[in-house]
Amino acid sequence: MAKPTLADKLVVAISSRALFDLTDSHRVYTEAGVDAYHHYQIEHEEEILAPGPAFALVKKLLRLNRPDKQYVEVILLSRNSADTGLRVFNAIKHYGLDISRAAFTKGEPTSRYVPAFGAHLFLSADTEDVKRVLNDGYAAATIVPSTVGRNETDDLRIAFDGDAVLFSDEAERVYQKSGLAAFSQSESDAAMRPLSGGPFKEFLAGLHRIQSDFAADQSPIRTALVTARSAPAHERVIRTLRAWNIRIDEALFLGGLDKGEFLRAFGADIFFDDQHTHIESAAKHVATGHVPHGIMNER
């Protein structure tokens, strides 16, 4: 019998606070401590948790799986103990989520298990955990609480910023140091030289591998690049994706325009960006994940 493996799947690790609304119990933890939290969770064990900020995204990810092929594995990473985590698994069962693998760390950071599981993406409400995962070279984002309704389309729609997310922040560093004119000139001069990959390159590549199993007009996934770049800085981005042999379905070069309305028009299930100003705009319209990576997060 072959050993179980996750090597052929898109692996998404998610914290319990990103998956479910644990606001009340987390308040008990921060205000009254571990013992009070432990008692609270056990006392409310049979109360089903409400969906959290990444719940709708996880449902759509799991919906990609087919009877004959499992494309996605979602893994729960939780700072609960196995004892207090029983409430979380009760909620997973209640909502019919196909999540069977988990790590409960009893207060310790969960980030060390992201490489162990080979996760392509880590979603958490804990920014410090997210930073540790990014420093290890894996895609990670802090889920931003949002009150927007979820995208009701059947397909999974994921949007990405470019610099410091899909790509390295090398171009952003030129812009921050020398301004727009120098940035535009630098990108024009380097148009034929692909950008280095950013933390989300491999996650996008994993989505692309799933898309490749379907005809273009039948894919259950649609991706978008939503960037503040404009011409002439667009060319290097297009050539970079071409060099990676990675498909992106839609590319929006906004030249600094507010991203929120465009993300709403795309119908993103989630948008990933490194800059707080773009996150604040996006969160008014779609679920968002902040990527605390690159020069804009060093200040």
Pairing relation of β-strands 156-160 and 221-227?
Answer: parallel
**83, 126, 129, 161: the active-site residue:** 161
Question: Given this chain, do its domains 10-142 and 156-297 carry the same CATH topology?
Answer: yes
Q: What is the pLDDT of residues 106-157, one digit of tens each?
A: 888 999 999 999 999 999 999 999 999 999 999 999 999 776 666 677 899 9
Domain boundaries along the sequence of the chain:
10-142, 156-297
CATH top class, domain 10-142? alpha beta
Q: Which of 25-39, 53-67, 90-104, 253-267 has the lowest mean pLDDT?
A: 25-39
Residues in the chain: 299
Residue-wise pLDDT for 24-39, tens only, equals 887 887 887 777 877 8
The b-or-e profile of 248-265 (16+ CB within 10 A means b, else e) is bbebbbeeeeebbebbee
Residue with tokens 């409430």: 87
Residue-wise pLDDT tens digits, 207-234: 999 999 999 889 999 999 999 998 888 9
Bond into 232 cis (ω within 30): yes
Is residue 105 within 8 Å of residue 82, measured between CB atoms?
no
| CATH assignment, 156-297 | 3.40.50.1000
- Break the chain down into helix, strand, coil percent, rounded to 5: 40, 20, 40
User: What is the rounded distance in angstroms from the CA atom of residue 117 to the CA atom of residue 95?
Assistant: 24
Q: How far apart are CA 14 and CA 221, in angstroms?
A: 20
Task: Categorize the per-residue pLDDT at 60 as very low, low, confident or very high, splitting at 50, 70 and 90.
Answer: very high
Give the rounded distance of the alpha carbon of 38 from its chain centre.
Answer: 29
Q: What is the pTM of this model?
A: 0.93
Residue 161 is a catalytic residue:
yes
